[in-house]
Amino acid sequence: MTDSSALRHEATVRTIAFVQYPGLTPLDIVGPLQVFSMLSHLVPGYDTVVVGERIEPMATDTPLSLVPSHTFETMPDPYALIVPGGAVPTLAAMADEKLLDRLRTAAVRSEIVGSVCTGSLLLAAAGLLEGRRANSHWMYRSLLARFGAIPVAERWVQDGNVITAAGVSAGIDMALHLVGELAGQDIARKVQLFIEYDPKPPFGPIDWEAADPGQYTSRRRESLQQALANYPALLERLTS
């Protein structure tokens, strides 16, 4: 967080802006969005918005469509910028130079830059993670290194003013962590209480030691080929 950025946002509403684009995973955006929306209710001076290229329904990777509240033009200077992820549409978005340029421009003006799941690949493709520790969905984490980032297997990873969460549900944990940093642990605990976030999976926690990401390499390659068929140079960079 830079001094100039802090001065720019001082005494103004701190806007948490989530980036929406077609085909993302709803929980990537809705989970942390709910956390920050609750922060806005509990603490004056925070606002939560969703920004996209246009204010119109956009498909997700479920039957649910979502509509941004703002465009990039009407929300050029957010306090925090959070990029959700997804599957094939997110991988394809790595070649969307217009979106990547939107991220670069907003990131320069933001005091916090974050991502959920494969949203970190978009930050990486935009050149925003070079030399930084970062995480993504476990199946795609290693691809971060192709963009000069340092892959780290943690629930969320904070490096300077950039914070990247692991896959999907990890966005809720990351958001609660940020609420604790912004407003204190007491407020973060209240948010956790009000959204009743107390996970107890019916089949217990994931056994990461037994998980073998290597067995999904072919599936990852197929997804990349589907997403980037028209961008052979980027496809080669990520699959060679």
Tell me which residues are annotated as active site. 117
Residues written for the chain: 240
User: What's the distance, Cα to Cα, between the start and end of the chain in Å?
Assistant: 36
- Partners of 83 in beta bridges: 115
- Per-residue tokens: 193: 């209480």
3-state secondary structure 43-86: CCCEEEEEEECCCCCEECCCCCEECCCEECCCCCCCCEEEECCE
Give DSSP secondary structure letters for 179-207: HHHHH-HHHHHHHHHHTT-----TT-S--
- Nearest CA to 49 among 25, 83, 26, 19? 19
CA quadruple 88, 90, 94, 99: dihedral sign: positive
Using alpha carbons, select from 224, 200, 195, 165 the residue that is nearest to residue 40: 195
CA proximity to 161, closest of 69, 87, 78: 78
